[in-house]
Amino acid sequence: MNTMSTVKNVVCCYVFLFILSVFGSREDVRATLQICKKGLDVSDEELEAFIKPAVPKTDYEKCLWACTLKAYNIIKEGKYDPDMALDVARDMLKNRPEGLKKIENFINYTRQEVEEMDDECELASEIVHCYGKYEKFVS
């Protein structure tokens, strides 16, 4: 397995864990995406594309991530709130200490890595991209 593939797999694993820890179920993800799409229906294909772990590339994907993170106050008033991310993770992963420790370490890493940005969509993308940087850092 090449390095790029490994990084992609690591990022994919994180995104999957993150989604599960924050949303809990596919229907919760669908409902949140529907809100972010201003009430428009979310097709099964869109749901699968969002759940299927991937780093957001298009403006649309980045803004869906931003809306989702804002729904849980992880991005609030244009700023990343790592303390809120920790609170959400602790609440969702209270019965999975090994997963919680990994997410806590990552969130603490993001405190230094994620810079303030005016564009919430780019900010959300940077948070997701940061996990790949984190895995390289701890490897």
Distance from the Cα of residue 44 to its chain's centroid: 20
**Residue-level pLDDT at 52:** 57
Angle formed by the axes of helices 3-23 and 120-138, to 10°? Answer: 120
For the stretch 79-93, pLDDT in tens is 999 999 888 888 877
Distance, CA of 114 to CA of 43 (rounded, Å): 32
Instruction: Please give the tally of structural domains in the chain.
Output: 1
pTM of the model: 0.63
Q: What single-letter amino acid sits at 107?
A: I
Assigned token pair, 93 = 């992963």
- Domain range for 72 is 3-138
Residue 124 makes CB contacts below 8 A (sequence gap 6+) with 56, 62, 63, 65, 66, 68, 69, 75
Mean pLDDT of 48-71: 77
| Average pLDDT of the chain, as a whole number | 73
What CATH number has the domain bearing residue 131? Answer: 1.10.238.20
**Residue-level pLDDT at 105:** 87
Under the banding of pLDDT at 50, 70 and 90, the label for residue 122 is very high
